[in-house]
Amino acid sequence: MASTFKIDGMTCSHCIKAVTKALEDAGIKHFKVELGLLELDLTENLITVEKLKQIIKEAGYDLIE
C-alpha cells in the first residue's frame, strides 16, 4: 500500500530532481515525487520511515509524516 508524505522545503522542479536522484541513488523504486509530496510503498521498497527521512534530509529537505 502506498504512503504519501509531505516534503518541506521543495519549491521548484530542481527540488523534485534532487529528491528523485537521492531516492534512486538509495535504490528506491516505484515512487512518485511532486512538489512537496512523495508517494511510495515502504513495504515494497523495504525501507523504514526513519531511513527515508535520512535520505530526504541528505538531499536538503525535511520529510513530514
The residue extents of the domains of the chain are 3-64
- Please, which pLDDT band fits residue 28 given cuts at 50, 70 and 90? very high
pTM of the predicted model as reported, rounded to 2 decimal places: 0.93
- The three-class DSSP label of residue 12 is coil
Instruction: Indicate if the pLDDT at residue 21 is higher than 90.
Output: yes
Class (C level, CATH) for 3-64: alpha beta
Instruction: Enumerate the β-bridge partners of residue 63.
Output: 7
- Please, which pLDDT band fits residue 31 given cuts at 50, 70 and 90? very high
Q: Is 33 left (phi over 0), alpha (psi -120 to 50) or beta?
A: beta
Side chain identity at residue 8, one-letter code:
D
Q: State the pLDDT at residue 54.
A: 98
